[in-house]
Structure 1
Amino acid sequence: MNVNFFQKLRQQAAAASLILAAQAAWAEPQHGIAMYGDPQLPPDFVSLPYANPDAPTGGRIATGEVGSFDSLNPHILKGSTPWALRFLAYESLMGRNWDEPFSLYGLLAESIETGPNRDWVEFTLRDEARFSDGSRVTVEDVMWSYETLGTKGHPRYRGTWGKVETMEQTGPRKIRFTFNVADRELALIIGMRPILKKAQWEGRAFDASGIDIVPISSAPYVVTDFEAGRFVELSRDPDYWGRDLPFRRGTHNLDTIRMEFFGDETALFEAFKAGVLNSHREFNAEKWESNYDFPAIQEGEVVKSLIPHARPSGIRGFVMNTRRELFADWRVRDAMMHAFNFEYVNEAMTGSEQPRITSYFSNSFLGMKPGPAEGRVRELLLPYEAELLEGAMEGYALPVSDGTERNRANLRRAIRLMADAGWTVQEGVMKNAAGEPFEFEILLRQGENEYATIADLFVEGLKRIGIAATINMVDTAQYNERTDVYDFDMTSYWRGLSLSPGNEQKLYWGAEGVEAPGTRNWMGMNSPAAEAMIDEILNAGSRDDFIAATRALDRILTTGRYVIPLYQYNVSRLAHAKELTYPERLPIYGDWFTWQPDVWWWDEAG
């Protein structure tokens, strides 16, 4: 498939530069909203640009995940939930177009209105909006959902709720939120919260729920079958209220979505080969070339699809917990970066086919540039120069080895860094002045076989400089319990990032997460400079300022040396039943969140 959406992205970016400086002042309710300027799609759009409005309905998709689950409520901290339920089983007031950096269009809400400074936002509910039990979605449901999520829900919801000064019903189908801070993104973020049916939770503890409550949803799919820890099945609701909305046209075409759970990646892949699953996402380029020659592939029953994208790489690798004294010193973390022999690992794991993540926003125009900070980026960083680590201002690049197993030059550098931090090799063991050995645990979740293999290689490298690291694999429940309270030295880590970074960045890197449980700040970073750059992102008045602030944040994150980065996924590799079909037109985000199965359909002709 030849899809030139990267050229389209450049054209969109050029167009955006002409409108980002404008402050949108809404004279009347609108069909959509963009972070800057106007949304790309007009009020009379037919469908999302990457959906096929003529797609047939029917068929099924069955995918696999490593791990388990003990809850059907994805909106609380307690328990493990199939991740896709958050997106498939619930709807919000507005919906995301994944072909724009950040624009929303009416879903449960028919319109949105906001002030010139976006210090308030008002939504008008659709009169026809219904839950799956046929009951009307009311303003009362909306208000209850926002307050409950903001006070009892997962920490990802609480930051936004704390910025709401008032929430009030302003008409039979209208609800207005007024904010207590200057934050242009809030008008969008507030429209993306899941709406729940209040009556379903009366007399029940929302933050203690498990598998005993099957959600009543307003979404196109409803949970129709499940077995705790093994599978969840969703069915397309034939009475779904919004099937004729332009935003929904050509989406949710498959009758059944089934998510199966397995103990490890090997069992999952064998289930795919056996036909238990009919779609599988492969993250390893070498395996993509060598392992996909089984009979179903040879006979054409299963096909391989490459899906490019233009979103940031995000960060994936091994995160070091700076709450632990061992990793509080950046020089120790830098030593770990040098001791990790990426080039050798990449050859062993992918045949050197996948490029490395070079920064949190690499693979996009938001990523930090090589060399010294210049221009607006330098201006933003300069007030915080004293707290910034080596490389932030003058330029930074990850260590590169010679590709051999010995990694001698980088290990010598690691030893010098450890010595600067007070650790020396004594009788073959890395110790501090008190004679205490440098030892730590790498926490992994059962089934993370790829991480385990990489960790084994890392541990062997560390032995060469007298460091003893042990790998501890625990079940999903224990892993979640420990990571929620940051009870680890080093662990596997993966954070996807978008072309529209905003308030979620504080959940990822904000100082509150140093102590508050359940945030995504697993490294425990506490950086006033990073928080200042996030504020700049949220209140940027132009595209140039937005890009500069993001690139400055990228420098702070990358030079913090919090995560030992692995290889990136600048293309998605999907093997699937030949009947599973997707549109030729791809969104700029590519294979992102629920692109599969949102716009896929079942074609009997294959």
Structure 2
Amino acid sequence: MQYALRRRKGVNMLAVVSGTAARVCMMAVCALWLMQAGAAAAQPLTVLTMDGEPRFAWNGRHFPHADPDAPKGGTLRLSARGNFDSMHAFIARGLPAAGIGLTVETLGTGAPDNTLFEYYGLIAQSFEVAPDFSHVTFNINPAARFHDGRPVTAHDVAVTFRLLMEHGAPRYKQYYAAVDRAEELSPLSVRFYLKEKNNKELPVILAQLPVLPAHYWQNHDFSQPSLVPAVGSGPYRVKDFAMGSYVEYELVDDYWARDLPVNKGRYNFGTIRYEYYRDETVAREAFKAGEFDLYPEGTAKAWVSAYTGPAVAAGHIRREELTTNRPMGMYGFFFNTRKDLFQDRRVRQALALLFDFEWTNKAIFHGSYTRSTSFFANSELASSGKPSQAELDVLRPFAGQLPPEVLTSAWDVPRTAGDGNIRPQMRQALALLQQAGWTLQDGRLRDAAGRPFEFTLLLQSAGSTRVVLPYRRNLERLGIIMNVAMSDPTQYVNRVRSFDYDMIMGRVPQSASPGNEQRSYWTSASAGTPGSRNYAGVRSAVVDALVERLIASPDRDSLVVNCRALDRVLLWGAYVIPGWYSSSVRIAYWDKFGRSETPPATGFDVHSWWVDKEAEKALRNAGTGYGN
């Protein structure tokens, strides 16, 4: 690996000529500076790029999708589903209020473009990485303040890390498992010592650390949910709330990071309010009635048919499809392989044959979706066709532990003609089930002991039933009983956290540069860790080894190959019935906003919008019902 140090217009930048694996995620990611190999000591720098020259060289500017002259003020009203019972988002207990992350700041923030590896300081104005990656030092911005006026210090960072590791949600222990300890070097400097010297991503993911006030939590129980909002350091603070109804945030007038380049032109709304609704149908109708301002539409049928009425016809409600470069990960029906019923891969393959996506897309989705064929869909990380030579080099050492087709064949989803006739797929499915020991008896599929093939799909949204019920009918034709259970938000979250389900419809997200989070998604350790995202309960020594290899990828080319190899093993493992995705973001909104003419590559950043007061006044005078 080679690292080239550059200086531009007084700003120190390090451009990585041959990049390392780093993860761009929607959470804030801090600036990482890597010293040239063999350098005697690290020095603080301010921008990292892993793909040539930095796109956003600061010199006092701003992200191009944000307008630094955007006016502040006005109200943004959004929606949330279900309920909340806590203002504490960092533990496994309770349902945190929507938007609570707006009150907390992290050590840094990433560029608003998933294709670029660029990181900029926020609470940490600079930091240093040891040449051998044995430690990383964060230098705190002296201007950083909590909402009560107390300065943010290295002690706050160290205490936050300890609290998250000892009492936080399980994902933190998994995410930071390779971090040995935090040491305060000075009031404004904290160093993290790392266990894994070959893990180039660890300094980056540490930069995602939220920073919480030590002085507040020394008098409060971090392990317990609470409806008392904690002191934060973010652009907003909690103003008012009512459980089951709404939560409202107000812009902090003296927000310490307001004029940092990463924030110029962002966080423009004086108030952000989330209105709670029991389901998406009720929320959509409330939006059209003017009860809130913007609605991301997740249902293709509704996008085509539900937006009618005078406000839409007059252009007061506008709709847009925004292209996004975000990797889509995997959405679908996740089998819980912890259950005996789903431990046989042939059973899982059989059930996947009976989901008719082509018919579903045509009859229900109006042809709006693309079938997921990868756990890294919509990215270069997705596998396709037969394995390349580079992928084979990764996979061959595990040949004796893998199905032979992983190394010899192209994986693909089952496909139908889309006319509702799935008899060929039923014959294939029955053959697989019979190989696994199941037989048809009096119209019911039974095992050797005579027990019927019966399971329950756990849902949290009634809107999913229009997709689920046709699938259930297909299963019934082969003698399989699929019960459908609806659950309220609190119960659903608790059951998923404890893996108390047979099957769920879920999503595993991905970033443009996956890393440590893959441990929580796929490894044997995470399969037994409540609260992890290993929904399928994957327990595979091969997967464990491939995840570690991915994390240790020395450059981008290696990362791509390792992701594709892992993708193939997961796909052939049949842990999920692949669902669907769209490479665009659908939003409907009342025409009261201003925004930059330059969109972010990710498609949508509502925090770079602002209220156009004249447009809002026109809406109120138009007699549309808006705001009433």
Please indicate, yes or no, whether the TM-score normalized by the shorter chain is above 0.5: yes
Aligned AA (2:19): L
Alpha-carbon deviation of 1:215?
Answer: 2.1
Which residue of structure 1 aligns with residue 610 of structure 2? 601
Q: 1:586 aligns with which of 593, 596, 599?
A: 599
Comparing 104-113 with 558-567, which one deviates more in the overlay?
558-567
1:245 alignment partner, SS class = coil
For 1:590 and 1:554, how far apart are their aligned partners in 2? 26
Which residue of structure 2 aligns with residue 314 of structure 1? 329
For 1:217 and 1:168, how far apart are their aligned partners in 2? 23
Which residue of structure 2 aligns with residue 25 of structure 1? 35
Q: 1:207 aligns with which of 220, 223, 230?
A: 223
Aligned AA (1:261): Y
Does the CA contact (< 8 Å) of 1:70 and 1:79 recur in 2?
yes
Task: Spell out the pairing of 1:411-422 with structure 2 (5 A cutoff).
Answer: 411-422=426-437
Which residue of structure 1 aligns with residue 580 of structure 2? 567
Comparing 538-547 with 24-33, which one deviates more in the overlay?
24-33
Alpha-carbon deviation of 1:68?
Answer: 1.3
1:505 aligns with 2:521: no
Q: Give the unaligned 5+ runs of structure 1.
A: 1-15
For 2:43 and 2:16, how far apart are their aligned partners in 1? 25
For 1:455 and 1:291, how far apart are their aligned partners in 2? 21
TM-aligned CA distance change 1:124 to 1:509, over 3 Å: same
TM-aligned CA distance change 1:535 to 1:584, over 3 Å: farther
TM-aligned CA distance change 1:138 to 1:203, over 3 Å: same
Which residue of structure 2 aligns with residue 49 of structure 1? 64
Which residue of structure 1 aligns with residue 211 of structure 2? 195
Alpha-carbon deviation of 1:66?
Answer: 2.1
Alpha-carbon deviation of 1:581?
Answer: 3.2
Q: 1:464 aligns with which of 471, 477, 481?
A: 477
Report the TM-score when normalising by structure 1: 0.92
Which residue of structure 2 aligns with residue 144 of structure 1? 159
TM-aligned CA distance change 1:18 to 1:196, over 3 Å: closer
For 1:487 and 1:33, how far apart are their aligned partners in 2? 43
Report the TM-score when normalising by structure 2: 0.89
Comparing 580-589 with 459-468, which one deviates more in the overlay?
580-589
Alpha-carbon deviation of 1:389?
Answer: 3.7
Once the two structures are superposed, residues 452-476 of structure 1 have per-residue CA deviations (whole angstroms, 9 ceiling, x without a partner) of 2211111111000000111011111
Which residue of structure 2 aligns with residue 272 of structure 1? 287
2:184 alignment partner, SS class = strand
1:392 alignment partner, SS class = helix
Which residue of structure 1 aligns with residue 565 of structure 2? 552
Alpha-carbon deviation of 1:486?
Answer: 0.4
Once the two structures are superposed, residues 76-128 of structure 1 have per-residue CA deviations (whole angstroms, 9 ceiling, x without a partner) of 10011235323x22111111222244432110111111122322111111111
Once the two structures are superposed, residues 331-350 of structure 1 have per-residue CA deviations (whole angstroms, 9 ceiling, x without a partner) of 11101110111112222221
Aligned AA (1:449): A
Which residue of structure 1 aligns with residue 532 of structure 2? 519
1:92 aligns with 2:134: no
Alpha-carbon deviation of 1:184?
Answer: 0.7
The alignment covers a number of residue pairs equal to 583
Aligned AA (1:69): F
Aligned AA (2:110): R
Aligned AA (2:234): A
For 1:443 and 1:45, how far apart are their aligned partners in 2? 50
Which residue of structure 2 aligns with residue 341 of structure 1? 356
Q: 1:82 aligns with which of 97, 101, 119?
A: 97
Does the CA contact (< 8 Å) of 2:368 and 2:582 recur in 1?
no
1:206 alignment partner, SS class = coil
Aligned AA (2:44): P
Q: Give the unaligned 5+ runs of structure 2.
A: 1-14, 22-32, 37-41, 616-628
Aligned AA (1:283): G
Does the CA contact (< 8 Å) of 1:390 and 1:559 recur in 2?
no
For 1:539 and 1:49, how far apart are their aligned partners in 2? 33
TM-aligned CA distance change 1:38 to 1:132, over 3 Å: farther
Q: 1:443 aligns with which of 439, 458, 467?
A: 458
Alpha-carbon deviation of 1:216?
Answer: 1.1
Q: 2:492 aligns with which of 467, 479, 482?
A: 479
1:491 aligns with 2:491: no
Aligned AA (2:592): E
For 1:374 and 1:145, how far apart are their aligned partners in 2? 44
For 1:39 and 1:148, how far apart are their aligned partners in 2? 35
TM-aligned CA distance change 1:17 to 1:561, over 3 Å: farther
Aligned AA (2:172): Y
Aligned AA (2:544): E
For 2:205 and 2:20, how far apart are their aligned partners in 1? 20
For 1:480 and 1:495, how far apart are their aligned partners in 2? 15
Give me the CA root mean square deviation.
2.0
Alpha-carbon deviation of 1:421?
Answer: 0.9
Aligned AA (2:424): A
Does the CA contact (< 8 Å) of 2:20 and 2:200 recur in 1?
no
Aligned AA (1:189): I
For 2:20 and 2:580, how far apart are their aligned partners in 1? 36
Aligned AA (1:140): H
1:385 aligns with 2:399: yes
1:50 alignment partner, SS class = coil
TM-aligned CA distance change 1:257 to 1:21, over 3 Å: closer
Alpha-carbon deviation of 1:584?
Answer: 2.7
Alpha-carbon deviation of 1:517?
Answer: 0.6
Aligned AA (2:552): N
Once the two structures are superposed, residues 511-569 of structure 1 have per-residue CA deviations (whole angstroms, 9 ceiling, x without a partner) of 11221111010100012222322222222222211111111122122222112122202
For 2:53 and 2:400, how far apart are their aligned partners in 1? 40
For 1:229 and 1:520, how far apart are their aligned partners in 2? 26
TM-aligned CA distance change 1:599 to 1:41, over 3 Å: same
Q: 1:454 aligns with which of 467, 470, 484?
A: 467
Aligned AA (1:19): S
Task: Spell out the pairing of 1:235-384 with structure 2 (5 A cutoff).
Answer: 235-370=250-385, 372-384=386-398
Task: Spell out the pairing of 1:399-414 with structure 2 (5 A cutoff).
Answer: 399-414=414-429
Does the CA contact (< 8 Å) of 1:367 and 1:551 recur in 2?
yes
Once the two structures are superposed, residues 351-373 of structure 1 have per-residue CA deviations (whole angstroms, 9 ceiling, x without a partner) of 12211111111211111122x11
Comparing 92-101 with 396-405, which one deviates more in the overlay?
92-101
Alpha-carbon deviation of 1:605?
Answer: 4.3
TM-aligned CA distance change 1:265 to 1:21, over 3 Å: closer
TM-aligned CA distance change 1:83 to 1:267, over 3 Å: same
1:574 alignment partner, SS class = strand
Task: Spell out the pairing of 1:103-118 with structure 2 (5 A cutoff).
Answer: 103-118=118-133
Does the CA contact (< 8 Å) of 1:33 and 1:188 recur in 2?
no
Comparing 318-327 with 286-295, which one deviates more in the overlay?
286-295
1:25 alignment partner, SS class = coil
2:467 alignment partner, SS class = helix
TM-aligned CA distance change 1:335 to 1:582, over 3 Å: farther
Task: Spell out the pairing of 1:160-171 with structure 2 (5 A cutoff).
Answer: 160-171=175-186
2:613 alignment partner, SS class = coil
For 1:500 and 1:83, how far apart are their aligned partners in 2? 27
For 1:207 and 1:34, how far apart are their aligned partners in 2? 38
TM-aligned CA distance change 1:39 to 1:71, over 3 Å: farther
For 1:296 and 1:501, how far apart are their aligned partners in 2? 43
For 2:509 and 2:160, how far apart are their aligned partners in 1? 26
For 1:21 and 1:495, how far apart are their aligned partners in 2? 23
Does the CA contact (< 8 Å) of 2:127 and 2:137 recur in 1?
yes
* Percent identity of paired positions between Structure 1 and Structure 2: 34
Aligned AA (1:381): L
